[in-house]
Amino acid sequence: MASRWVLHVDLDQFIAAVEVLRRPELAGRPVVVGGDGDPTRPRQVVATASYEARELGVHSGVPMARALRLAPDAVFLAHDAAAYDEASAQVMAVLRELPVLVQVLGWDEAFLGTDTDDPQALAHEVRRVVTERTRLSCAVGVGDNTLRAKTATGFAKPGGVATLTEADWLPVMGPRPTRALWGVGPRTSSRLEALGIRTVEELARADHVALAEAFGPSTGPWLVLLGRGRSSAEVDPTPWVARSVSRETTYPQDLSGTEQLTRALQTLLGTVTDDVARDGRAVQRMVVKARYRPFLTRSRGVALRPPTADPQALADAASLALSRLEQDRPVRLLGVRAEFAPERDAPS
């Protein structure tokens, strides 16, 4: 009888790879994608970098100006979400043609659920088919649950296949720092270290009662299970549905005063209301976010009753939300988010 396995597919340097497909002459060169592609403009950050750029120290989240200093000969390109949407859709369509369940996790990754006696052979077939059909490379992690499959992918990149199961989880992951676990960030890792828990194996053997006291009744025991490599083996193929649409802009020069803020809000609203119209669902809340100097962020929301997709109603709610924010402080970033109503609340 075939066993249940989970495969995690992760496309290699996805955004940079899409750009190289569009511009083959960039193959092998350091490529940096972010903002409008101009690294001399302030307050723009790197969305992704090719492996060649990463070798020079350029990574996601690095300010574009710093990326320019680290890689002065790199090619800098503007972020093109529409192109990445299209490329991602092609990959996911290829995966759905295989005898697997597909759970999309984002532009560049997905879980595959399958019953098979040879998951490694299937993983190599996934890599081959994706590359042949889309010309994009991927790594595939194989596991007996989602956590182990996701973790295995880290050992498979770039462009390989790796496996982690219950039998080899602690031998492989045990000596590694807790930060190596999917779901454990720097803050949680620091809190664990303060309790004397530095490695995955120490976390796996930790007292779940003590961690429940430190992190809460749900998070504490969950962290212990994470250390043991425990998670669900279920892959949910239900299509992902966005709960909201949003747009935000970081400005080269701070916005100052009600007039500038209102003008910027109207520009963002134009795109958000177009997105809402394309989606076809009603909005239950409009939220406006402002980031002030040095890095203080505030947001205010206004509910829409009943939920609606009417552009004027959305604009009125956003304007009211903006009026509830401070108007006399310089604003470096402004954002607008339209939160969709559950289907049961949508107007007939």
CA angle centred on 112, ends 108 and 117, rounded to 5°: 140
Straight-line distance from the first to the last Cα atom of the chain, in angstroms, rounded to the nearest whole number: 49
Helices assigned H by DSSP within 181-305: 186-194, 200-204, 208-215, 219-227, 257-279
Q: What is the DSSP letter of 139?
A: E
Catalytic residue chosen out of the listed positions 52, 55, 86, 109: 109
Long-range pairs, 199-205, Cβ under 8 A, ≥24: 199/174, 199/175, 200/170, 200/173, 200/174, 200/175, 200/176, 200/227, 201/170, 201/173, 201/174, 201/175, 201/227, 202/178, 202/227, 203/178, 203/227, 204/170, 204/174, 204/228, 204/229
138, 225 Cβ separation under 8 angstroms: no
In angstroms, rounded to a whole number, what is the distance separating the alpha carbons of residues 32 and 52?
10
The helix or strand, by DSSP H or E, that contains position 306, with its residue range, turns out to be strand 296-308
Q: What is the DSSP letter of 343?
A: G
In angstroms, rounded to a whole number, what is the distance separating the alpha carbons of residues 183 and 342?
28
Q: For this structure, is 109 an active site residue?
A: yes
* Residues labelled catalytic: 109
